[in-house]
Structure 1
Amino acid sequence: MAHIVVVGNEKGGAGKSTVSMHVATALARMGHRVGVLDLDLRQKSTARYIANRAATMKRHGLDLPSPSFRELPEIDQAALGPGENAYDRRLSQAVAGLEATSDFIVIDCPGSHTRLSQVAHTLADTLITPLNDSFVDFDLLAHVDGETGAIMGPSVYSEMVWHARQLRAQAGLKPIDWIVVRNRLGAQAMINKEKMGKALEELSRRIGFRTAPGFNERVIFRELFPRGLTLLDLRDVGVVGQMNISNVAARQELRDLIKALRLPGVEVDF
C-alpha cells in the first residue's frame, strides 16, 4: 500500500502547490516512487507545475527525477451504483491506479471545501496543512477572542479533519498524522510570530496536530513555477547565480520540512 500524503486546507494562497511539488520531487530524488494527484480541477496549479517541468526537461534534454502525475479519470454516470458519488469514484480509481507503482501518493487539495477534498482527507496517512503565519489563516483552524487571544473553539477546517479522523477510526485505519506547516515566516513582526506560535502550540494540544516550519517568503518560488523546477533542481539545470545564500537557506528549509514529516522509510540525503 502506498503511503498517502494529503496537502490541504480550505484557503488559497498558503503555498499548498509549492509544498506538494517540493515534497513530491524531494521524495523522487531520494529514490522513492511518487504519484501525484491535483484535486483543484479549476486552477490545477500542481498539474501545471508538472506540465511545466516536462516541457523544461524536453526543451533542455534533461532527465530530472520527477513524480508521476495522473489526471482524475472521467466516469460514465450510468456506471455508478445507487447513491454513489461520481467524484468518489474518480478519486478512488485514480488512487488505485497509482498505488501499484508508487511508494507515496501526494494529493494536492483545492483551497475550498469540495467533495473531492473531503474524501481525500479520509485517505490521508499524513496530512500537511500549510498556513501563512497570520491570524487570518489561523481562523481556519480555530476562532480566537480578539481581546484576550483565547481560543474559543475549532473552526470549519479543523472540524472537517476531525470528521475524517472519525471515519478512518470506524474503518479500522491508522490515525492521520497531521502536521501544520508555518509558511512565510518573516524575519520581522516578531510579536505576531510569537503570538502565532503560542496559539498553535495550545491548539495542537487540544485537537492533535504537530507543527513544522515551512518556507519563508522568497522570490525563487515564483521564479521556479514557470519552468516546473524545485529548489533541488537548480544545480542540475546549471542556472547561473541561483545558488545564493537565500536559496541555500531555502534548501535547508525543505530539508527540515521533510525531516519533520517523519515519512516511513525516508532518510533525508540532500
Structure 2
Amino acid sequence: MAVNGVHLIVFANEKGGSGKSTTAVHTAIGLAKAGRRVAALDLDTRQRTLGRYLDNRAETVRRESVDLILPVHEVLDPLTVPALETAVAKLGEGREFLIIDTPGRDDDVARAAIAMADTLVTPINDSFIDLDLIGQVDPETFKVKRPSFYAELIWDQRKLRARADGATVDWVVLRNRLQHVEARNMRRVGNAVAELSRRVGFRVIPGLGERVIYRELFPRGITLLDLEELGELGISHIAARQELREMISALELPQPQGELAL
C-alpha cells in the first residue's frame, strides 16, 4: 500500500493456533535486527498476542537491563477501518515495513487490512484441518475439489486492491509446524497445497517447525534471534534459528541493496 512508502506485511488466518502471531513477531524482530526500520500493529483487541509479546519484551529490557531491539508497536483502538487507516499512516511514517497481525475472525477491519497488504502471509499448520480453510479436499483421492470460503475472501480483497491502485497483493501461504520426519500425510498435504497454489494464486514457503522453544520465549518477549546475544543459544536452537532466517528470506521482501543479512 502506497502510504508513506511503507511495505505492509499482513499476517491473516481465521483459524487460531496456526502460529500467526509468533511468526509475525519473529519476522518483525528479524527485519529490525537486519537494520530495517520496522513497526507493528495488532488488530486483535481481545487476544492482543503480538502487542503483549512486544510489551513483554519491553519489560525484559527494563527488568534485565539488556539491550534488545524493540520495534514501535500499537494495539488498534478503536477497532474501525478509519482508525486502521490512521494507524497505518502514523506507524508507517519513516519506516520500511509495517507488520500487521489480524484477529482469528472475519470482520471489516481484518478485510481492510488484507486489501491494504503488499505481502499477505497466511500461516497454516501442516494438516488437512488447516488446509480446509483455503481448499476442500476429496477424502479418498486427497485431490483438491474446490477453493474454500477464505480463498474466495482473499480473492475478493485482492480485486479491491487492484481496482484501488492497480497494485497486486503477494499472497504467501506459510506451512508452520512442519514435522522433521517425512510422512505420508505430510506429502499429501504438500501436494494439495501445491495444487491449490496454482489454482488460487499464492506462493508456498516453509515456516516454523513444531518446537517447544517458541512457547517458552513468549513470557520474556524474546525471539530465537536474541538468544545468542543473551548467551542462551544452545545447539538445539541453531537449526530453529536457521529455519526462521530461511522463512524471512522466502518472503522475498523489498531490499534496499544487496542481500538481507539476518
User: Deviation at 1:172?
Assistant: 2.5
Counterpart check, 1:101 vs 2:94: yes
Name the residue aligned to 2:240.
250
Name the residue aligned to 2:26.
22
State the AA in 1 paired with 2:127: S
1:152 and 1:93 map into 2 onto residues whose CA distance is: 41
User: Deviation at 1:150?
Assistant: 2.1
The answer to whether the Cα contact below 8 Å between 2:45 and 2:76 also exists between their aligned partners in 1 is no
1:112 to 105, 110, 130: 105
> What do the CA deviations read for 1:100-133 (whole angstroms, capped 9, x no partner)?
1311000001111122211110011001111100
Name the residue aligned to 1:7.
11
TM-score by length of 1: 0.92
1:41 and 1:228 map into 2 onto residues whose CA distance is: 18
> What do the CA deviations read for 1:129-178 (whole angstroms, capped 9, x no partner)?
11100000000001111122121111121111101111011112311111
The answer to whether the Cα contact below 8 Å between 1:182 and 1:212 also exists between their aligned partners in 2 is yes
Give 1:98-177 correspondences, 5 Å limit. 98-177=91-170
1:245 and 1:229 map into 2 onto residues whose CA distance is: 18
2:75 and 2:139 map into 1 onto residues whose CA distance is: 43
1:222 and 1:56 map into 2 onto residues whose CA distance is: 16
User: Deviation at 1:189?
Assistant: 6.0
Counterpart check, 1:261 vs 2:251: yes
State the AA in 1 paired with 2:97: F
2:193 and 2:76 map into 1 onto residues whose CA distance is: 34
1:116 and 1:102 map into 2 onto residues whose CA distance is: 22
State the AA in 2 paired with 1:89: P
| Alignment RMSD | 1.3
**Secondary structure in 2 aligned to 1:248?**
helix
State the AA in 2 paired with 1:17: S
| Structure 2, unpaired ranges of 5+ | none
Name the residue aligned to 1:182.
175
- Matched positions, count: 256
Counterpart check, 1:58 vs 2:48: no
Aligned-pair identity in percent equals 49
The answer to whether the Cα contact below 8 Å between 1:9 and 1:111 also exists between their aligned partners in 2 is yes
**Secondary structure in 1 aligned to 2:9?**
strand
The answer to whether the Cα contact below 8 Å between 2:48 and 2:75 also exists between their aligned partners in 1 is no
Name the residue aligned to 1:80.
none
**Secondary structure in 2 aligned to 1:238?**
coil
The answer to whether the Cα contact below 8 Å between 1:255 and 1:268 also exists between their aligned partners in 2 is no
2:99 and 2:178 map into 1 onto residues whose CA distance is: 24
Name the residue aligned to 1:78.
none
The answer to whether the Cα contact below 8 Å between 2:61 and 2:68 also exists between their aligned partners in 1 is yes
Name the residue aligned to 2:196.
203
Give structure 1 regions of 4+ aligned residues with deviation exceeding 4 angstroms.
none
1:187 and 1:235 map into 2 onto residues whose CA distance is: 24
State the AA in 2 paired with 1:269: A
Counterpart check, 1:45 vs 2:49: yes
